[in-house]
Amino acid sequence: MQAKEILNTGPLIPVITLEDPKQGVPLARALLKGGIKILEITLRTQGALEGIARIAQEVPEAIVGAGTILNVSMLEQVKKAGARFAISPGINAKFAQEAKSVDIPLIPGVASAGELMLALEYGFEALKLFPAEAVGGVKLLKSFSAPFEGVQFCPTGGISLENMHNYLALDNVSCVGGSWLTPKELLAHAQWDQITQIAKESVAQASLL
């Protein structure tokens, strides 16, 4: 799959911090049951890579990716683990150039017009706006739409069930990412049915546009 295809798979991408890699498989199944096929596992925990590998092997119908990619070494690690895409919080010229040597769709993060232009220079047209709310959110994306026609975004950072519609209504937004879909408390207590319910309700709300 190409990066734009991934962003267009569904309107919501859960941003997941996985403390226990053994929870990856039941979590992926709970989200699939709720109508969410794309998963972003952030590389902020010791068990993230193992969690990605378990999901890739045991729940192949889920499209599992890795977030918080900071360099090409991390990119190589997540590809080896079985991630089908990668997301970085930002972009720089060295990383953009080196990333081309790793055969995995990369969705770089941008927060300004200058970073967006850098991303385009290296052929990236499917981007993450991060941290969305902090850098201008909906207003910034609207201002990007004319000069950067054809670029598609997945805003994350401050996105919630309450404000996601403001983003999803924009032509240059394919989907939004958020941690509200997998609350830490529910993960800690393996409340899979409740996570499925949150996913179902969120997908239903997103489809009302």
Question: How many C-beta neighbours within 10 Å does residue 122 have?
Answer: 15
Considering the candidates 5, 22, 98, 128, report the single residue annotated as catalytic. Answer: 128
Pairing of strands 152-155, 86-87: unpaired
Residue 40 falls in the annotated catalytic set: yes
Q: Which residues pair with 16 in a beta bridge?
A: 41
40 neighbors 14 (Cβ within 8 angstroms) = yes
HSE toward the beta carbon, residue 189, CA cutoff 13 A: 7
Residue 65 tokens read as 């990716």
| Helix axes 24-33 and 48-58, enclosed angle (nearest 10) | 50
Residue 5: name the closest of 105, 81, 91, 132 by CA.
105
Residue 200 falls in the annotated catalytic set: no
Question: Residue ranges of the alpha helices (H) in the chain?
Answer: 3-7, 24-33, 48-58, 72-81, 93-99, 113-121, 132-135, 137-145, 164-168, 184-188, 192-206
Residue positions counted in the chain:
209
Considering the candidates 40, 121, 139, 201, report the single residue annotated as catalytic. Answer: 40
Active site residues: 40, 128
